[in-house]
Amino acid sequence: MNPFNPFNDDHDLLRQSFREFLQHEVMPNVEQWESEKHCDREMFRKMGQNGYLGVTFPEQYGGSGLDLWAAVVIAEELAYANIGGLAMSLYAHTYLPLPLINAVGTEEQKLRYLAPALCGDKVAALAITEPGAGSDVGGIKSMAKDMGDHYLLNGSKMFITNGTMADFVVAVVRTGDGPYDMSVFIVDTNLPGFKAIPIKNKLGMHTSDTAQLFFEDCKLPKSALLGNIGNGFYYIMNNIQEERLIAAVMGWASAEWALFKGMQYAKDRHAFGRAIGKFQVIRHKLAQMAIKTEACKSMAYRAVYEYLDQGSGAIKIISMAKAFVSEQCQDVINECLQIHGGWGYMEDYGIARAWRDARLMTVGAGTTEVMHEIISKLIVDEVRHKHQLVPHRAAH
C-alpha cells in the first residue's frame, strides 16, 4: 500500500458513490436544517440502507466488511459536506457505541441492537460524560445496583449526542466501590425511569441532537450487561482510541475544505484593482494554511496506519493526532474566515458554520489538555525504557 495514497479501487468507488449521495440527500437541505437546528433522523435510515453506516462492520450484521480506510473515506466526505452537527451525530452513532457491541456483545445483543443500528432502523448513543465527570471517567457517579434478577440504574449523563433520538443508549456506570469499578449496559430508552432533555443554545453543531439523560430507578434486565461486569473502564479506554482517530481524520478534512474555500475566495474577490490572492499577505496566509493542512493529514494518516498495526497500542500517535489536528484545523478555518473578511462573519459562504462547528474538536473525545497529559506520560515512560539513567560524575 502506498503510504501517500492508501486507497484502492474499492475505496475510490465508495468515495464517489457516497459523495453523490451527500450531494443529492444532504447538500440541498443543509441551510434549512441549520436554521431549524434540526437533526434529521431519516438520514440514519438512508445512510444505513445504502450501506454507509457499517462499512467496517461484519457483513452478517449488515456491514460491508471493509477495512478502516473505508471509514476514513466516509469521515472525510462528511467533513467536506460542511455540516458538522449531522456528521457528528452519524459518527457518534456508528463509531462510539456500536464498536463496543461488536467487540464484546452477545449474539443476541448483536442481532437486537447492532444489526438494526447498522441499517439505520435504530439510533444509538454512547453515554459516558456526566455533569461532574467529563474527561475524568473515574469521576462517574451513576450507579447500577445488582438486585438479583435485574439491575437498578440511577444517575444522569450530560452532553450526550443523539440523546433524545436514541432507541438505545450504551451507558458506562459504576457497579462497585473501586475507582474504576464500572460496567457497560445497553439501556432501551423506552424503559420506565429513562428521561432525555434536549440541550439547546450550543455555539455550533446545530444539526446534532444533544441531550442530558436521567436514569431514575431504571430496571435493567440481566441481559442488558455488555461484556463482563467490572470491565467497563477498560472497554471504554480501548474504544475511545478509534473515536479519537476518526475525529482527527474529520479534522484534517475540515481544514482541507477551508483551505479550498479560502483559495477560491482569494481568486474571486477583488480589492484595489486586483484579486486579493495577488497580495503577498494573502498568498502567505494560504501557504501557511496549506502547510498546516498537509501536516494534519500526515499525522492523521500515520495514526490510522499505526492503529491498523497495533490496535489500541497506538495510543501515543492517536493522542498526538487528536491534539495536533484539532488545534491546527481551527487555525486554518480561522484564517479562512479572515480571508473572507466581513463575508466570513456571515452565513452566506459556510465558513462561519465551519468555524463554529470546529470549536468543539479540542473539547470532545478528550480535551487537548488531557491528550497532552497522556502523551507526556507515554514519552517519559519511553525514555525510561530506552535509556538507562547514568549518574553524573562527581565534580573535581
The pLDDT tens digits of the residues spanning 206-255 come to 999 999 999 999 999 999 999 999 999 999 999 999 999 999 999 999 99
The pLDDT tens digits of the residues spanning 197-215 come to 999 999 999 999 999 999 9
The per-residue pLDDT for 205 is 97
Rounded CA-CA distance 114/59 in Å is: 11
Are 304 and 351 part of one and the same domain? yes
The per-residue pLDDT for 312 is 84
Amino acid at 186: I
Q: Are strands 168-174 and 182-188 parallel, antiparallel or unpaired?
A: antiparallel
Of 52, 45, 61, 57, nearest in space to 21 by CA: 52
The domain containing residue 187 runs over which residues?
Answer: 124-230
Where residue 1 falls among pLDDT bands split at 50, 70, 90?
low
Q: What percent of the chain stands above pLDDT 90? A: 91
Rounded CA-CA distance 115/60 in Å is: 8
Where residue 395 falls among pLDDT bands split at 50, 70, 90?
very low
Helix, coil or strand: residue 58: coil
In a domain, 393, yes or no: no
Checking phi first, is residue 159 left (phi over 0); if not, alpha (psi -120 to 50) or beta? Answer: left
Alpha carbons within 13 A on the beta-carbon side of 280: 0
Give the ranges where the chain is alpha helix by DSSP (H).
9-25, 30-36, 42-49, 68-80, 84-95, 98-104, 107-109, 115-118, 232-268, 280-310, 315-340, 351-358, 368-386
Which one of 118, 150, 172 terminates a domain?
Answer: 118
The per-residue pLDDT for 135 is 76
Are 223 and 350 part of one and the same domain? no
By mean pLDDT, which of 43-47, 213-217, 359-363, 390-394 is the weakest?
390-394
Beta-carbon contacts of residue 253 (< 8 Å; ≥ 6 apart): 75, 76, 77, 79, 80
The pLDDT tens digits of the residues spanning 303-318 come to 999 999 999 899 999 9
What's the grid cell of residue 235?
A: 472497554
The pLDDT tens digits of the residues spanning 252-296 come to 999 999 999 999 999 999 999 999 999 999 999 999 999 999 999
Rounded CA-CA distance 16/79 in Å is: 15
Are 247 and 326 part of one and the same domain? yes
The per-residue pLDDT for 391 is 52
Of 362, 84, 35, 29, nearest in space to 204 by CA: 84
In a domain, 32, yes or no: yes
Phi, psi of 26 (to 5 degrees): -110, -55
Question: Are the C-beta atoms of residues 391 and 356 closer than 8 Å to each other?
Answer: no
Find how far residue 372's CA is from the centre of its chain: 18
Average pLDDT over residues 117-140: 92
Residue 226 is inside which H or E element, if any? strand 225-226
Q: What is the CATH number of the domain that holds 88?
A: 1.10.540.10
Average pLDDT, the chain: 95
The per-residue pLDDT for 3 is 67
Exposure string of 290-312, with b = 16+ CB inside 10 Å and e = fewer, is bebbeebbebbbbbbbbbeeeee
Are 95 and 183 part of one and the same domain? no
In a domain, 394, yes or no: no
The pLDDT tens digits of the residues spanning 31-89 come to 999 999 999 999 999 999 999 999 999 999 999 999 999 999 999 999 999 999 999 99
Residues with catalytic annotation? 243
Of 240, 139, 125, nearest in space to 182 by CA: 139
pTM of the model: 0.93
In a domain, 321, yes or no: yes
Which one of 68, 95, 118 terminates a domain?
Answer: 118
Neighbours of 380 (CB within 10 A): 10
Are 250 and 266 part of one and the same domain? yes
Are 279 and 381 part of one and the same domain? yes
| Selected residue with higher pLDDT from 138 and 18 | 18
The per-residue pLDDT for 394 is 45
| Selected residue with higher pLDDT from 295 and 391 | 295
Of 335, 327, 322, nearest in space to 244 by CA: 322
For the cut 80, the answer to whether the pLDDT of residue 390 exceeds it is: no
Exposure string of 226-245, with b = 16+ CB inside 10 Å and e = fewer, is bbeeebbbebbebbbbbbbb
Are 248 and 298 part of one and the same domain? yes
Are 193 and 293 part of one and the same domain? no
DSSP 76-101: HHHHHTT-HHHHHHHHHHHHTTHHHH
Are 254 and 356 part of one and the same domain? yes
Amino acid at 334: N
Are 56 and 96 part of one and the same domain? yes
Rounded CA-CA distance 208/89 in Å is: 5
In a domain, 84, yes or no: yes
Are 239 and 376 part of one and the same domain? yes
For the cut 70, the answer to whether the pLDDT of residue 396 exceeds it is: no
